[in-house]
Amino acid sequence: MADLADALRANFASCGVFFRDTTLPEAVLARYRPGLLLREPTFCDVSHRVGGFVAPHRYLVFSANARVLPDAEGWGLCLWPRGRIFKVLDQVSDGRYAQVTLLEIPEHLIEVFLTAEPNTIERAYAGHGRDLFEELRNAPPVPELDTDRWRDRLTYPVGVDDEGRYFPLYRPGGYRSDGNGPPLVHVVRHLTHTLLDAGAYADAEAQVRAAVEAARPFADRSPETLAALLVTQSDLHIRMADHRAAETDLHEAFHLYRRLDEDRLPVADVLSSLGHLYQSTGDDAAAERHHLHSLGIRRRVAGERDVTVIPTLVSLGALCEGQNRFPEARQWLAEARDIAREIGHPESPVLLNNLARLHQATGQFEAAERDLCSALANLAPESRGTQQLTLLANLAEVRAARGQATEALRLLTEVIARHRETVEQFGSFASEEQRLAMLRVARNRLAQYVSLVLASFSDQPEHVRRLADLILDWKGLGIDALARDRDALASGGHPQLRPMLDELGRLRAWIARRRLDGPDPRDPHGSAEELRRATWQLRELEKALARALSVARTDRPSAVDATAVARATPSGAVTVEFLRYAPFDFHAVRSQGDRPWQPHRYLAVVLTPARPDRPVLVDLGAARTIDELVAGVRTQLTGYREHPADGRADAAERLHDAVFEPLRAAIGDSRRLLLAPDGELLRLPFEVLPDRNGGRLIDGYTISYLTATRDLLRLHAAARPTTGPPLVVAAPDFDLGGVPSVRRPLLPLEGARQEGEVVGRLLGVPPSLAGEATKTLVERTSSPLVLHFATHGFVLRHQPPLPPEEFTPGMTIRPADPDREMLVLNGILATPTAFVPAEDNFARLTGKGLANPLLRTGLALAGANTWLEGDEAPPAAGNGILTALEVTELTLAGTELVVLSACDTGLGDVEPGEGVLGLRRSFLIAGARTLVMSLWKVPDEPTRHLMEHFYRLLRDGRSRVEALREAQLLTRESWPAPRHWGAFVCQGDDGPLPGLPPAVLDSEG
């Protein structure tokens, strides 16, 4: 590389200045952040003629390489060839006009300009650009340029496409590895981290993903290049809270570097990143092992007091602080600060932040605030990524602790708004798993906001309303985004995505089958590797579909607020949003034994159409008490013991007093309730709770359920696609294709056959029974008006890992997660992992080894026993098990009603703020407007009678929720115990059922 001063003189001494005026969308204009390197892949027209603006936005470009073209029009036309690279120096605006100042960079000088710190030539040209802006913004335009013919040549932006996405900096045809071509690793690292610092996750993901794909074919020749890019990609994944993807990246990078030499600084970087990863997942012991190993390499290779040692010392200090090992934390951080001062290195924002956290933990709030303010001041001006968000959130905590509640609330408001932007970005490129991970991170900040408002502003209506708005906007955000994606696809306006959707469905079905089958005993390693590859392909396909949809969609969801939800609530009804959250104590001093995060509580937001701008917040109390009462009530009603449970006989009365009685004042005289539960309340049908008059809530209230109250807005706005005839699937032949055994897992359901025949008659269709009730039939059905199942359902608990103290000599164990790669350092297993007994290995339909909750819930169809006993059912039956994962692939857009007349179909893993990960969620994602399901095992005969009443009442014009309530009351007359009639709940659209065939309406049954 040439000397910097010589390089600058040789290449920029005679730069010309060029102009390109155009009109850009504001979102595209905002992409031009100082410090970014951009590549323009097409030819680029500019003019060398100086004059005033002829459009609102101007590119002012300094370059020594523009080609002057013959110009009969007087335009001063100049042109850059394809693939030129520019650095954004500045952006300035006066309200009327905005100017982006660019400097063209020769490829061989890219490394000089990668630094975020402007060099001499950049500062000079940026200043000259501002002078020209002031001089020309009020000047008259050049007449020849103030023409449509000239403006028509300049319609596209420079360095980005029309949607504002950055073009890759490297050449699409690959890159040279001889040192003479563009330094791919440095360029991508620079661009990715600049974009991440600016909070542009989607752009960063696109850049680093494309670079990794480009580098893979050259891995044997240049392993360091791919390894460095994988480390960059892992940083993105860590910031996205996608810990599994980050671990996979880092393990691959480690093995690539180890081909060369293990004692190298890049290996130390990988180990440090793994340390950060495990620290963020709460595995502090593994984090410390990796950081100490990294520190040893750095000290051996670079020296005890080298600048490269500082970040690892800071990480160890942060780790010890998080474990309340305050003297050790102080020692590590002091050593890092001493080295920085000794070598004249500026104190990084990360070091200052961790010093502030140590001060905060020991009650030195003023010192913590001082360090955080210094850290924010040391950030680059354009930095808007996770680092700035962390600093702002930490500053909010400290200012709240110092009694500055208003300022703390302002900071938290900004942090949450930025998290909301990030979650919206994730919808444009991330997999569903990545979206959920980011939502979990953001909800911690929401919990802090809730805590601060309730502690300091609960008597101020404006703050209460804003808090209600935030809760309603965040609750159910993930499933709402998936539902909107489905609606966009169901509209039929994106036929180009059909091949991608078909492949997505094929992969999900294959993974579901292989997960349930377990590894091939003839080649367990090969089958596990095949499953890993398929899972990776599925994630990449989900991300590709999200990117394609983000381009195809023209609408963007707006924020949900309490007023909109209240106005969407039916007249005379009341909507209640429940939130399970962990309160945060801003005044906690951890060195004195205090805990900032307190035990979870339940909060309710009550909304009525009569008072749309007056939400009411109701604190319901400790979540542990309520959760144990829910388990106790379920035990009393069903006879099945659940742990932990409050087993006292008055559990139902106490639960009523805990979760319903506090709401009465806000509910008032309304008898129509729309409830959006959270946490363990999702497993409770409120209707069975006792009331104050000796009856139950079902006697006085009509209750329906929502995943989140935002569902009301989507249901009102959603179009109703064309539907097909109803489909009734009942009493499958579980032994189809096999020989019935004495101890078969699933017994026949004679009551289900009778139920199917009655429901089919009421809906005017023949039911699919016995051998016809197959998985293929369900998967090939498109948007039936009603989809009714009468069969066995299942929900499997995730098997907990075996605690180390339960290991015994001679026991064979295996990793609980078979997809995870293990890393060994110095002969010791370094990857934190949990183990289960080997004999539990993927037993069919036991849930053991099945991490995905959508594979642990489902419905049994024809051939299920045959598959469960290790045989093969006929092809149409498949494995006879329809999992919740496979349900997401059903085509149910336009399906008005899905009824799951089966056991436990409303249960599954609870995802805070997102509902139940199981059949409940999957049928709604697939498109069903309403879901009727059970929350415990239901007896055969009462269920058949309940369903017959339900469909007769629908036929008579009752709404869905009214029909279910009246059917339950009628069933109660013959079977008074709530376990016989109380399990079923109605979720989603609770209105009348349109589209029943006239013949059915005229039928007497």
**Closest to 504 (Cα-Cα) out of 529, 526, 534:** 534
d(CA 817, CA 199): 32
* pLDDT score of 44: 81
Cα Rg, the chain, nearest whole Å? 31
Which residues on adjacent β-strands are paired with residue 898?
787, 931
Q: Render 916-937 in DSSP notation, one character per residue.
A: EETHHHHHHHHT-SEEEEESS-
On whether the CB atoms of residues 396 and 412 are closer than 8 A, the answer is: yes
The distance of Cα 371 from the centroid of its chain, to the nearest Å, equals 32
**Closest to 609 (Cα-Cα) out of 570, 642, 578, 646:** 570
Task: Count Cα neighbours of 335 within 13 Å in the Cβ-side half-sphere.
Answer: 20
CA dihedral 17, 22, 23, 26 (to 10 degrees): -30
* pLDDT score of 148: 87
Could you tell me whether strands 786-790 and 727-732 are parallel, antiparallel, or unpaired per DSSP bridges? Answer: parallel
**Closest to 990 (Cα-Cα) out of 669, 702, 603:** 702
d(CA 885, CA 775): 13
Which residues on adjacent β-strands are paired with residue 829?
824
Q: What is the topology classification, in CATH, of domain 183-260?
A: 1.25.40
Which residues on adjacent β-strands are paired with residue 166?
160
d(CA 594, CA 519): 48
Strands in 84-93's sheet, in edge-to-edge order, are 37-40, 84-93, 98-105, 57-63, 16-22, 44-47, 77-80, 67-68
* 3-class SS string, 632-660: HHHHHHHCCCCCCCCCCCCHHHHHHHHHC
Residue with the two structure tokens 């006993």: 869
**Closest to 441 (Cα-Cα) out of 243, 273, 621:** 243
Q: Is 180 exposed, middle or buried (0-12, 13-18, 19+ CB in 10 A)?
A: exposed
* pLDDT score of 793: 86
Residue with the two structure tokens 């007359």: 973
d(CA 195, CA 33): 9
Residue with the two structure tokens 């994106």: 494
d(CA 731, CA 640): 25
DSSP-based three-state secondary structure for 59: strand
Q: Which two tokens stand for residue 786?
A: 């009603």
Backbone angles phi, psi at 815, to 5 degrees: -60, 140
Could you tell me whether strands 44-47 and 77-80 are parallel, antiparallel, or unpaired per DSSP bridges? Answer: antiparallel
* pLDDT score of 1003: 44
d(CA 958, CA 946): 15
**Closest to 396 (Cα-Cα) out of 420, 424, 378, 376:** 376
- CATH architecture assigned to 722-796+852-1002: 3-Layer(aba) Sandwich (3.40)
**Closest to 960 (Cα-Cα) out of 988, 918, 925, 920:** 988
Domain ranges of the chain: 4-154, 183-260, 410-488+553-718, 722-796+852-1002, 799-849
Ramachandran bin of 770, using left for φ above 0, alpha for ψ from -120 to 50, beta for the remaining angles: left
On whether the CB atoms of residues 171 and 83 are closer than 8 A, the answer is: yes
Q: Kindly provide the residue ranges of all beta strands, DSSP E only, lying in 800-869, ordered along the sequence.
A: 813-815, 824-825, 828-829, 835-837, 857-860
* 3-class SS string, 798-817: CCCCCCHHHCCCCCCEEECC
The distance of Cα 574 from the centroid of its chain, to the nearest Å, equals 30
CA 144 to each of CA 17, 23, 74: distance values in angstroms, whole numbers, following the listed order: 18, 18, 6
Where b means 16+ CB within 10 Å and e means fewer, 29-38 reads bebbbbbbbb
Q: What is the mean pLDDT of each run of 10 residues along the chain (1005 residues)?
A: 50 76 89 85 84 95 78 79 83 94 81 62 86 93 90 87 72 39 62 74 80 82 86 88 87 86 85 90 89 94 92 95 95 94 87 95 96 88 73 96 97 91 76 79 91 96 95 86 73 74 82 74 72 79 76 66 93 96 96 95 95 94 95 83 59 94 95 95 94 92 94 78 89 85 76 93 94 94 94 74 55 50 50 50 48 81 87 88 89 92 73 79 91 89 94 93 97 94 94 70 43
List the alpha helices (DSSP H) in 427-476: 432-456, 461-474
